Chains A and B, each alone.
Chain A
Amino acid sequence: MRASGVVKRFGDREALRGVSLSAGPGELVAIIGPNGAGKTTLLSILAGIARPDAGEVASADGAIGWVPQQAALYRRLTVEENLLLFARLEGHEDPRASADEMLELTGLGERRGEIVARLSGGNQQRINIAIGLLSRPAVLLLDEPSVGLDPRQRARLWEFVSSLAGRGTTVIFSTHDIQEAERYGGRVLVLADGESLFDGSAGELREAVRSEAPEAADRDFETAFVAYLQHRGH
């Protein structure tokens, strides 16, 4: 997946100012930044939901899976009915087989008949991701997937997402949890006020901070990240 010079304006405000990004198969890219940095806007443009005012977005053959921040599924339907509905809408030849495959992948096979509203937030998010995977996408875009989950649910979620990347799926996710970005993101893209400030590994970000604020670089990744932003006036 590749985006170059992406610009997005909402009225007079520039939400994205020439942001570029590329990610290859099996790569896990974390997009981090303060509130209003443009993380969700960038993911929406990569997903094709919003159109950029300038710049280009291109992806290799294969669908792009989109997992919005809040679970986009029908809470009054069962787990299986949700998966069947979206498989049918996507025109799968055998929707039931696709739904079964996703139930196995998410480990929710035993709960297929349960109404979604009765599931925990973590399990709802797993179905949300499973729906995003129904099209067998080459690229999976996740907008703050771990929001509202407890630590155990988060761990299970990232184990699942990492396994997808392990099978060759490109995963690009946004998060507010900086430790999560360090732990699971093979690469980190730092956005602030619509600008791309950094694109590299978490270790490279620490090294960049070391030259500017050595005391922050050796502490936790969040402290290093905040120091990095402060030195750039954010």
Chain B
Amino acid sequence: MRGVRWLLLKDLQILRRSPLQAVLLVAYPILIAVLIGFAISREPSDPRVAFLNEVPPNTRINVGGQELPKANVKDRICERVECVFVDDRDEAEEKVESGDVLAALILPANLVNQINSLSTLTPGVPEIEVLVNEENAVKAELVDDRITSLLAQANLQIAQRIGAEGGRYLGLLVNGGQFSVLGETIQILGLRATAQILKTVTPALPPNLRPALEEVTEFATQARDNLDVAKPLIDRLAQPIAVDKVVVGGKSPPLEIFAIAVAATLTLAFVVVLLVAGSLALEREENAFSRLTRGLVSSGGLLGEKVLLGVVVGLVVTLLMLFGMQVFSPLDLGRVPLWLVAILFSAAALGAAGAALGAAAREVRAVSLLAFMVTLPVAFLSLVPSGAVGAGAFDAIRIFTALFPFKPALEAITAALDEAGPGIGGPLLHLTVLFAAYAAIARLALRRFAAV
């Protein structure tokens, strides 16, 4: 243990003597913390969409000769996107082409007439026009998604208005009331009152006429009862399928907590793996390895010292980052002991993986590149959710990522940050197994090099 202490001190001295490395170790997590912090503390900005309304003012949607109340579709759309009002089609096209707006939404002059024609014998096809610039596939897909979503909303609102009007007419038919048409008010008797009147007058009729009238009364009663049932059905027509979301697996914390956990794990992984692998390779690059292992320190002691170095530096850097995130998104400080447990287990497993890499290389540059080439794809693959790729590919990814400590480290840190996350026990056990496996690989690799 005495040797480990002095070697650790030596490595920290060397780290201090490498200003670029030291600055990177401190600056990198702060930079990541600030970037993630800004990203999660700002509301996502609405996409800019040019809006041209060519529909003549005061044109209203008409159902069965009755104008529907104003739906305020424009206001509703502009709640969800940043509307840039334009005066004509040329201006809309120019703004889309220049990239000033993501898309242009044009309501043509005949839109309302076409909607009104839907309730006639010659229904038209109401269309709105969308101008998009598809120079960028991702941007184009984003625009498509937004516009489709907006149209679905607009269709739903119109359908709800029509449904409400239909329901009002049914109400009149059942219960009676007043109905305005061409400026005149008509009194509607309604089925309920009709049945009541018929029941009242039936006893006054000659017996031979009563059965026929009783049939009419029965019809009015049945029609009233059944049309009462029809009204909720019409209401459901606008949105026949409702969503009832039930979470049955994959407890997940809030998105900002997950983002913080990803940033912290990524920082921890890069710092620990690069530092441990690099410092172990440095012993060989400086030719000190054979001198050290000639009785001054055992190869196990040397590996332990490197992992300890990674754990110490990784712990400091990750805590620095998490406390930095407090400025943007308050974290539950009551869970700090769990943070420490998660970071220590994660750093130890990542350090053992770094030691295995470092033992396999002679030069710091080569091993740094190797560590980067291993850590980055593993980190990306660990973030692929189920369903994003085919079942076979996902199984392969799951097996591959389970062999490297990044994913269990992410799960452990997520669980430590928020109680809504997955349990911490499984990831800690996984990290322990990986630590033992990588430590054994690193020892074997070092023994092989000692024999060279």
A91 to chain B, nearest CB (A): 7
Across the interface, A89 reaches (CB within 8 A) one of B13, B287, B297, namely: B297
The reply to whether A74 and B286 contact each other, CB–CB distance below 8 Å, is yes
* Contact of B14 with A by CB under 8 A: yes
Task: Give the residues in chain A near B296, CB-CB below 8 Å.
Answer: 86, 89-90
- Tell whether, in the assembled complex, residue B294 and residue A74 are in contact, meaning their CB atoms are under 8 Å apart: no
**Out of A48, A71, A86, which one reaches B287, CB within 8 Å?**
A71
How would you classify the secondary structure of chain A's contact residues: helix, strand, loop or mixed? loop
Instruction: Contact check, A76 vs B17: say whether CB atoms are below 8 A apart.
Output: yes
In angstroms, how far is the closest chain A Cβ from the Cβ of B443? 18
Contact (Cβ within 8 A) B288 A77? no
Asked whether B294 lies within 8 Å of A49 as measured between CB atoms, the reply is: yes
Residues of chain A lying within 8 A (CB to CB) of residue B251: none
Q: Is the CB of A68 within 8 A of B290?
A: yes
Contacts of B70 in A (CB 8 A): none
Binary B-proximity of A47-77 (CB < 8 A = 1, otherwise 0): 1111000000000000000101011111111
Q: How far is the CA of A77 from the CA of B287 in the complex (A)?
A: 14
Let me know if A89 and B14 touch, CB within 8 A.
no
Task: Name the A residues within 8 Å of B297 (CB-CB).
Answer: 89
Given A50-B451, A74-B10, check contact A89 B292 (CB 8 Å).
Answer: yes
What's the least CB distance linking B24 to chain A, in Å?
Answer: 16
Chain A residues whose C-beta falls within 8 Å of the C-beta of B13 in the assembled complex: 76-77, 81
Chain A residues with CB under 8 Å of B451's CB are 50
Q: Does B390 touch A at the CB level, under 8 Å? A: no
Interface residue from A49, A76, A88 paired with B18 (Cβ < 8 Å): A76
User: A66 touching B6 by the CB < 8 A rule?
Assistant: no
A88 touches B17 (CB 8 A): no
B245 at the interface (CB under 8 A from A): no
Is A77 within 8 A of B10, CB to CB?
yes
| Known pairs A86-B296, A89-B6, A89-B296; A76 contacts B14 (CB<8 A) | yes
When C-beta atoms are compared, the residue in chain A nearest to B293 turns out to be: A49
Q: How far is the CA of A73 from the CA of B14 in the complex (A)?
A: 12
Contact partner of A85 (CB less than 8 A), chosen from B6, B294, B295, B450, is B6
Q: Does B2 contact A (CB under 8 A)?
A: yes
Candidate in A70, A89, A131 with the most chain B CB atoms within 10 angstroms: A89
CB proximity to B under 8 Å, residues A91-116: 91, 115
Contact B17 A72 (CB under 8 A): no
Residues of chain B in range 274-301 having any CB-CB distance to chain A below 8 Å: 286-288, 290-292, 294-297
Chain B 292-333 interface 0/1 with A at a Cβ cutoff of 8 Å (1 = within): 101111000000000000000000000000000000000000
Q: Which residues of A contact B450 (CB under 8 A)?
A: 49
- A85 B10 Cβ-Cβ under 8 A: yes
Say yes or no: A74-B14 contact (C-beta < 8 A), given A89-B297, A90-B296: yes
A90 to B2, CA, bound (A): 10
A18-74 with Cβ < 8 A to chain B: 47-50, 66, 68, 70-74
Flag if B294 contacts A48 (CB, 8 Å).
yes
- Compute how far the CA of A91 lies from the CA of B294 in the bound complex, rounded to whole angstroms: 14
Judge whether B423 is part of the interface by a CB distance below 8 angstroms. no
Q: Mark A113-135, 1 if CB is under 8 A from B, else 0.
A: 00100000000000000010000
Are B287 and A68 in contact (CB-based, < 8 A)?
A: yes
Roughly how many angstroms separate A145 CA and B10 CA in the complex, as a whole number? 26
Q: Write out, one digit per residue, whether chain B residues 331-352 have a CB within 8 A of any chain A CB (1) or not (0).
A: 0000000000000000000000
Query: Which residues on B sit within 8 Å (CB–CB) of A71?
Result: 287
Task: Name the one of B3, B6, B291 contacting A68, with C-beta atoms under 8 angstroms.
Answer: B291
- Shortest CB-to-CB span from B448 to chain A, Å, is 13
CA distance A81 to B14 in the complex (A): 11
- Cβ contact within 8 Å between A73 and B288: yes
Q: Which residues of A contact B10 (CB under 8 A)?
A: 74, 77, 81, 85
Q: What separation, in Å, do the CA atoms of A88 and B451 have in the docked complex?
A: 26
Distance of A127 from chain B, by nearest CB (Å): 12
Taking CB atoms, residues of chain B closer than 8 Å to A91 are 2
A50 vs B14: C-alpha distance when bound (angstroms): 29
Residue of A nearest to B17 (CB): A76
CB distance from B281 to the nearest CB of A (A): 14
Task: Convert B250-284 into 0s and 1s, putting 1 for each residue whose CB lies closer than 8 angstroms to a CB of A.
Answer: 00000000000000000000000000000000000
Given the known A-B contacts A86-B296, A89-B296, A90-B296, are A66 and B14 also in contact in the complex, defined by CB atoms under 8 Å?
no
Contact A72 B291 (CB under 8 A): yes
* Complexed CA–CA distance, A66 and B296 (Å): 12
| In the complex, chain B residues whose CB is within 8 Å of the CB of A50 | 451
Query: Hey, which chain A residues are within 8 Å of B3, CB to CB?
Result: 89
Tell which of A74, A81, A88 touches B288, judged by Cβ atoms closer than 8 Å. Answer: A74
CB-CB < 8 A to A68: which residues of B?
Answer: 287, 290-291
What mask results when residues 1 to 28 of chain B are scored 1 for a CB within 8 Å of chain A, else 0? 0110011001001100110000000000
* Minimum C-beta distance from B434 to chain A (A): 30
Interface pair A73/B286, CB less than 8 Å apart: yes
Nearest CB to that of A84 among chain B residues? Answer: B6
Cα distance, A81 to B18, chains bound together (Å) = 16
B14 to chain A, nearest CB (A): 5
Q: Which residues of A contact B14 (CB under 8 A)?
A: 74, 76-77
* Contact B286 A72, beta carbon cutoff 8 Å: yes
Q: Least Cβ distance of A84 to chain B in Å?
A: 9
B6 proximity list for chain A (CB < 8 A): 85, 88-89
Q: How far is the CA of A146 from the CA of B13 in the complex (A)?
A: 30
Q: Judging by beta carbons under 8 Å apart, are A77 and B2 in contact? A: no
Please determine whether B287 and A115 come into contact, CB atoms closer than 8 angstroms: no
Separation of A81 and B10 alpha carbons in the complex (Å): 9
Chain A residue at smallest Cβ distance from B5: A88
| Complex alpha-carbon distance, A153 and B18, angstroms | 30
Additional 5 contacts, C-beta under 8 A, given A89-B2, A89-B292, A131-B291: A68-B290, A73-B286, A77-B14, A89-B3, A91-B2
6 A-B pairs with C-beta separation under 8 A: A49-B290, A49-B294, A50-B451, A68-B287, A68-B290, A85-B10
Please name the 7 residue pairs, one residue from A and one from B, whose CB atoms are nearest each other, closest first: A72-B287, A89-B296, A72-B291, A76-B17, A88-B6, A70-B287, A76-B14
B contact set with A: CB distance below 8 Å: 2-3, 6-7, 10, 13-14, 17-18, 286-288, 290-292, 294-297, 450-451
